[in-house]
Structure 1
């Protein structure tokens, strides 16, 4: 072990071989840290936290602190972290709000700077969570998901396997597996790039795209679409998608509104013609609706 003299390490903490602890890091009572894990300067590993082998906890990261809840509780649960996870600068992960339970993080995940994982979350493996993303309590992120920067995820939401959430999005419903979500809980398309990188076959990708069209473009409601999916597909990928939808408590993200994006397109065309500032986009659309057609002088 290589522990800097200024680090504060509890005698009740258990550190395995080849652990490195940087200057001014704090490791509290009951912490367990696996082999070859590196704790950088000013990081805090707090009570009831277990970290697996080959992890990295960078400058200022805080793992296992008290959950951010108003109710007063005498004791809280644990934080369990698997192997080969990377927590970059000032990332925060809170332990469970319930005695005897745990916030759980799998293996091979990457948490970028200022990302936050709240109490009682379930984070799978091979997940990337980018800078400034906030995941609220009891949320679940499934394997191979990619969540871009400054995304907010509501409590109890689920992010499906191999899905992608675009930057600055708000997730208030469950994100189905294999889908690309953008904006306010809106599904835009299949996460084709992610599927190719995961070495999905051409046949599997085509089935997922067909399922997407049936689910979002057929005009059927969710129950009817699921029934059709069960009739037409028997691949394990589609079965996983169906199972995810059937077990959704918050409902799944909807599809983008064609009418809304048609207004955006028309507004952009008006900007090009009239050279008006972008902030007047919607004001221009409202004027068009009231007056009918634009005057010749305005075209």
Structure 2
């Protein structure tokens, strides 16, 4: 059974799954779909074409599915899609997409999103991420799986963050952050690789050795990006277990635009 507080305003056209809980004074619009087991706190506004999956916990005072902060937006039916088992703390703002891109702002599964986080239009967030308080993403940002953003991290539009990367508190990203890289500063600079995080996720010694080789090629040998890519491609000979990791890094670097570059 759904549990909707008597003061909540839920449009009759909204689709709420079984065991959804809606707190006091929350407003839910007609194009919203919420999966079973999700709880919505008090004083939230969920609007637009928003789909929320199963077993999410959305705390009080959140705004999800509002129109993008884009002057070109003219009412097109763009979307916000949130997966399963996410935690969204207080005062977060997730906007729908825009017609100038995919039209969808997307959040994956099992993310831990702390207070005052902003996801602008057309952001694509993977799974198992952690966004600390006041992390701010401009439009069209792509965030890979297992990324950790330190508090007050700010990400410029169209920037990509590779899987397992990490930022320190108050980091400002203007360039793409490759997989595994830990960064800090304004603007961000690479500091190391996220070795401890990889160990906690079960990476073998061979895979971590390959990540160390990537770090050396990108940041320790004074190579051009093209030279570093060639060096990284050879790592699977010595570290066959890291084939997937190497290919992920090479794919990320290949997709980096020369104008934006990577954090170095």
Bin for the TM-score computed over the shorter chain:
over 0.9
After superposition, give the CA deviation of every residue in 1:127-182 in whole Å (9 maximum; x if it has no partner): 01110010010000000010010000000001110111111000111100011011
Query: In the alignment, which of 116, 121, 127 is matched to residue 118 of structure 2?
Result: 116
CA distance in 2, matches of 1:149, 1:197: 21
For 2:253, the equivalent position in structure 1 comes to 245
For 2:81, the equivalent position in structure 1 comes to 80
Q: How does 1:54-69 map to 2 (within 5 A)?
A: 54-69=55-70
| Counterpart secondary structure, 2:169 | coil
| Counterpart secondary structure, 1:120 | coil
| Counterpart secondary structure, 1:233 | helix
CA distance in 2, matches of 1:63, 1:46: 6
For 2:231, the equivalent position in structure 1 comes to 228
CA distance in 2, matches of 1:69, 1:60: 23
The answer on whether the counterparts of 1:19 and 1:37 sit within 8 Å (CA) in structure 2 is yes
The answer on whether the counterparts of 2:213 and 2:232 sit within 8 Å (CA) in structure 1 is no
CA distance in 1, matches of 2:108, 2:235: 34
For 1:48, the equivalent position in structure 2 comes to 49
CA distance in 2, matches of 1:74, 1:146: 33
Tell me: CA distance 1:105–1:72, structure 2 relative to 1, closer, same or farther (3 Å): closer
Higher helix share goes to which structure? 1
- Aligned-pair Cα RMSD in Å: 1.2
CA distance in 2, matches of 1:232, 1:51: 41
The answer on whether the counterparts of 2:32 and 2:51 sit within 8 Å (CA) in structure 1 is yes
The answer on whether the counterparts of 2:235 and 2:246 sit within 8 Å (CA) in structure 1 is no
Structure showing greater Rg:
1
For the pair 1:201 / 2:209, whether they are aligned, the reply is: no
Tell me: CA distance 1:72–1:135, structure 2 relative to 1, closer, same or farther (3 Å): closer
For the pair 1:219 / 2:222, whether they are aligned, the reply is: yes
Shift of 1:72: 4.5
For 1:158, the equivalent position in structure 2 comes to 160
Shift of 1:36: 0.8
CA distance in 1, matches of 2:94, 2:73: 19
Tell me: CA distance 1:137–1:2, structure 2 relative to 1, closer, same or farther (3 Å): same
* TM-score, structure 1 normalization: 0.83
For the pair 1:14 / 2:15, whether they are aligned, the reply is: yes
The answer on whether the counterparts of 1:163 and 1:194 sit within 8 Å (CA) in structure 2 is no
Shift of 1:197: 1.0
The answer on whether the counterparts of 2:164 and 2:198 sit within 8 Å (CA) in structure 1 is yes
* TM-score, structure 2 normalization: 0.93
Tell me: CA distance 1:14–1:215, structure 2 relative to 1, closer, same or farther (3 Å): same
| Counterpart secondary structure, 1:35 | coil
CA distance in 2, matches of 1:118, 1:204: 34
User: Per chain length, whose mean CA-contact separation is higher, i.e. which structure has more relative contact order (CA < 8 Å, sep 6+)?
Assistant: 2
Shift of 1:71: 2.2
CA distance in 2, matches of 1:228, 1:49: 44
